[in-house]
Structure 1
C-alpha cells in the first residue's frame, strides 16, 4: 500500500508542477524520476545509472524517428503542402458534406503536422468554406479540431504515439501501431464529427466574431503567399510513402513470412524500418521546396524541425527514465496484481492517461508518462502480448485526448481562431474531446475482446 501512495504522490507532483508551478514537463518528469527513485528505496549507487540508461534507451530506439517525423511535418507546413492536401480532399468530396470534408482534412494533415499548427494553417480555409457553403463556423471549427486531434494522439509518426510505442517495446512494430491507430483514429474523428454537427446552427459568440467575414476573404491571400503550391502527389508522398513502407515491412516480418526469406524479404524489411522509411520520406520532401533555393531552404527547415523536436525528445527521454525507475521497483507487479483482481484491464491505462491529461493539459506528457508507468504491469493484467501492447497505446491515446480544456494550448488555439467564447468552447470543443475519448476507449475495449 505504501508503494501505491508513493506513486500517487509522484503523479500529484507532476500535475502540480506542470499546471500550477508552470515548470517545463522535461524538468518535472526528471525531478519526479529522482523523487520516485529515492522514495521507492532504490540503492543510491544505482539511481543515476538507472535514470541515464532509461533516458538513453528510449531515445536510442525512437529519438531519430521523432526528429525525422518532425522535420517532415515542418516542411509540409512551410511549403504549402498542407494546403494542397486540403484542396485535394475538397476536390474529391465537393461541397456536399462540409463538416465531413473538414474532419477528413484534419485527420490527414495531423499525421505529419502538429494539431496546433494544423489548425492555424487551415483556419482561413475552414472559414472560407463555412462562408461559401453557409455553414456554421462553430461546427466547422470543431470538425477540423477533432479531426486533427484524432490522428495526433493515435498515429505515428506523431511524437506522442511514437514515444508511447517505444516505452511499451513496440519500436520494431510501428507498422502495426500505425495500422491499428489509423482505424481507431477514424472512430475518434467520427465521434468528434457527430458532436460538431450538433452546432450547425450556432455562430461564434466570442470577441471579434465579426472579423470572421474578413478571415474568409483572407484565404486566397494566404494561399497566394505560398506562391506555386506543390502537386498533390508531391504533397502526400513524404508522409504516406513512409507509412506504407513501415506497414509492408511489418507484414514481411510476420511469422508466416509472406514475402519469403530471401532478397525480397531483406529489402522490404530494410525499407520498413521506421528510421529508414522516414529518411526516404525526408528525401521526398525535398521535392516540395522551390528548385531555385532548394538546399538553402531545406537546411532552414531542418533547423526549424530540430528546434521543434528538441523539447519532445527531452520529454520522451525523461519519460523513459521514469519508466526505468518504475521497472526497477516492485510497484509494477503489485499494481498489476491488484488491478487484475479488479478486472478493469484495458480501461486502466485510459483512466491514468485521462487523469493526467485533464489535470496538466499536455497530450504528449500524458502519453509518455502513462506508457512508462504501465509498461511493467501489462503482463499481469492480461495485456502482455504484442497486440495487448498495441491496444494499450490506443487506450492511452484515448485517455490523452480526454479532455482538452483551459490548461491545453490546443483549446486556446481553437477558441481564439474560431472566435468562440470560453463557455461556448467548453460546450463545443471540450465536450467533443470528452465524447471522442469515451467512444474511442469503448471501441478499443471491443477490439480487445476480439483480438486478445
Structure 2
C-alpha cells in the first residue's frame, strides 16, 4: 500500500508542477524521477546512473525518428502540402458530405502536421465550405478537430505515439503500430464525426477579432504560390509508412516475401529511421526558393527546434520509467492489478487522468507508457500485440478529454468563434466520445487477439 501511495504522490507532483507551478513537463518528469528513486529506496549511487540510462536508452532507439518525422511535418506545413491534401480530398468526395470531408482531411493532415497547426491552416477552408454550402461551421469545426485529433494520438510518425511505442519496446516494429493505429484512429474519427452531426444546426456564438480567422481560402492558397502536386504532398509521409509496414510484414515468422537478400533489403528500407530519411529526401521538390539547399537547412533547423521539447519530454519519461522499473513497485502493483483484472483498461485510465489533469496529450502518452512498461507481464500485455494494444489504449486515454488546459481546445474554440460553454459541449464532449468509444473497441480487440 505504501508503494502505491508513493506512486500517487509522484503523479500528483507531476500534475501540480505542470498545471499550477507551470513547470515545463521535462523538468517535472525529471524531478519526479529523482523523487521516486529516493522514495523507493534505490541506492544513492545508482540513482543518477538509472536516470541517465533511461533517458539515453529511449532516445537512442527513437530520438532520430522523432526528429525526422518532425522535420518532414514542418516542410509539408510550410510548402502548402496540407492545402493540396485538402483540395485532393474535396475533388474525390465532392461537397455533398462536408463534415465527412473535413474529418477525412483532418485525419490525413495530422499524420505529418501537428493538430494545432493543421487546424489553423485548414480553418479558412472550413469556413469557406460552411458558407458556400450553408451548413454549420460549428459542426464542421468539430469534424475537422476530431479528425486531426485521431491520428495525432494513434498513428506514427506523430511524436506522441512514437514515444509511447519506444517506451514499450516497439521501436523496431512501428509498422505493426501503424497498421493497428490507422483503423483505430479511423474509429476515433468516426466517433468524432458522429458527435459533430449533433451540431449541424448550431451557429457560432462568439466573435474573435483577427483577420487570420476570416481569411479567404483562395487568398490563403495564393500565399503559398505554386502548390505541390498530390504525389509531392502525400508521398513524403505515405511512402515511409508503406516502407515501415512492408518491413514489419517481411519479418513475420512466415516470411511472406521470402528470406535472404529480399528480407535484408525490406528490413533495411522498412526500418523507421531509413524510411523517414527517404521521406525527408522526398520533400526536396517541395522547396520553393532559388537556393534550395539554404531553404532545406532552414527547414531542418525549424524542425529540430520543434522536436527539441518533444525529445526532452520523451527522454525524461524514459528516465522516469527506468526508475519505476528499478523499484519494487512493478511486482507489487502488477500482482495487485492482476487480481483486480483491469488489464488493458489500466493504461487508458492513467492516461485519461493525466490528460484531463495537465492538458498535454504528448505528456500523457510519454508518462503513461513509461509508467506501465514495467507492468506489462503482470497485466498480461507483454506479447507483441499486447504492447501495440497498450499503445492504442494509452492513445485513447490521451485524447480524454481536451478542455481549458489544452492549447488545442483554445485553437479550436477561438478559430471557430465558439464561446467557452459551446466549446465544452461541442469539442470537449467530442473528445470524451472519441476516447471512450475507441477504448471499447480496443478492449474488444484485446479479447480477440490476446
- Scaled by the length of structure 2, what TM-score is found? 0.99
User: What pairs up with 1:298-317 in 2 under 5 angstroms?
Assistant: 298-317=296-315
- Alignment deviations for residues 101-120 of structure 1 (CA, whole Å, 9 cap, x no partner): 00000000000000001001
Alignment of 1:208-247 (within 5 A): 208=208, 218-247=216-245
Displacement of 1:130: 0.7
Written as runs of structure 1 = structure 2, the 5 A alignment for 1:326-405 is: 326-405=324-403
Aligned-pair distance for 1:217?
5.6
2:127 corresponding residue in structure 1: 127
CA distance in 1, matches of 2:57, 2:183: 29
Alignment of 1:144-183 (within 5 A): 144-183=144-183
**Match of 1:27?**
27
CA separation in 1, counterparts of 2:328 and 2:64? 32
1:136 counterpart residue number: 136
Shift of 1:356: 0.3
Deviations 1:319-378 (A, max 9, x none): 000000000011111111111111111100000000000000000000000000001111
Question: Cα distance, 1:290 vs. partner?
Answer: 1.9
Distance 2:317 2:183 in 1: 27
Q: Which structure 2 residues correspond to residues 21-100 of structure 1 after superposition, within 5 A?
A: 21-100=21-100
Structure 2 Cα separation of the partners of residues 44 and 175 of structure 1: 40
1:14 lines up with 2:17 in the alignment: no
Q: Is the 8 Å Cα contact of residues 128 and 217 (structure 1) preserved in structure 2?
A: no
SS of alignment partner, residue 256 of structure 1 = coil
Q: Which runs of 4+ in 1 moved over 3 A?
A: 214-217
Separation (CA, whole Å) in 1 of partners of 2:134 and 2:82? 24
Match for residue 266 of structure 1 among 264, 267, 285: 264
SS at structure 1 position matched to 2:143: helix
RMSD: 1.1
**In 2, distance between residues paired with 1:270 and 1:190?**
35
The Cα shift of 1:208 comes to: 3.2
CA apart distance, 1:292: 2.2
- Worse-matched range after superposition: 123-132 or 238-247: 123-132
Between the aligned partners of 1:118 and 1:203, the Cα distance in structure 2 is 22
Q: Distance in 2 between matches of 1:47 and 1:208?
A: 50
State the 1:264 CA deviation: 1.2
Instruction: Return 5+ residue gaps in structure 2 as ranges.
Output: none
8 Å Cα contact 1:125-1:216 kept in structure 2: no
How far off its partner does 1:265 sit? 1.1
Distance 2:264 2:143 in 1: 42
Q: State the alpha-carbon separation in 1 of the partners of residues 379 and 274 from structure 2.
A: 34
Q: Deviations over 1:358-411 (max 9, x none)?
A: 000000000000000001111111111000000000000000000000000000
Gaps of 5+ in 1: none
- How far apart in 1 are the matches of 2:246 and 2:3? 43
Q: How far does the alpha carbon of each residue in 1:296-325 deviate from its partner, in whole angstroms, 9 at most, with x for none?
A: 111111111010000000000000000000
Alpha-carbon distance between aligned partners in 1 of 2:214 and 2:408, rounded to the nearest angstrom: 21
Q: CA deviation at 1:269?
A: 0.6
Counterpart of 2:405 in structure 1 is 407
Secondary structure, aligned partner of 1:403: coil
Provide closer, same or farther for how the CA distance between residues 216 and 207 of structure 1 changes in structure 2, counting only shifts above 3 A. Answer: closer
CA contact (8 A) 2:289 2:295 kept: no
SS in structure 2 opposite 1:170?
A: coil
The answer to whether 1:3 aligns with 2:25 is: no
CA distance in 2, matches of 1:169, 1:284: 29
Q: How far is 1:216 from its partner? A: 5.5
Is the 1:71–1:306 Cα contact (8 Å) retained in structure 2?
Answer: yes
- Is the 8 Å Cα contact of residues 349 and 370 (structure 1) preserved in structure 2? yes
Aligned to 1:255: 253
Give the deviation of 1:207 after TM superposition: 2.6
Aligned with 2:291: secondary structure?
helix
Match of 1:433 in 2: 431
Preserved CA contact (<8 Å) 1:316 1:368: yes
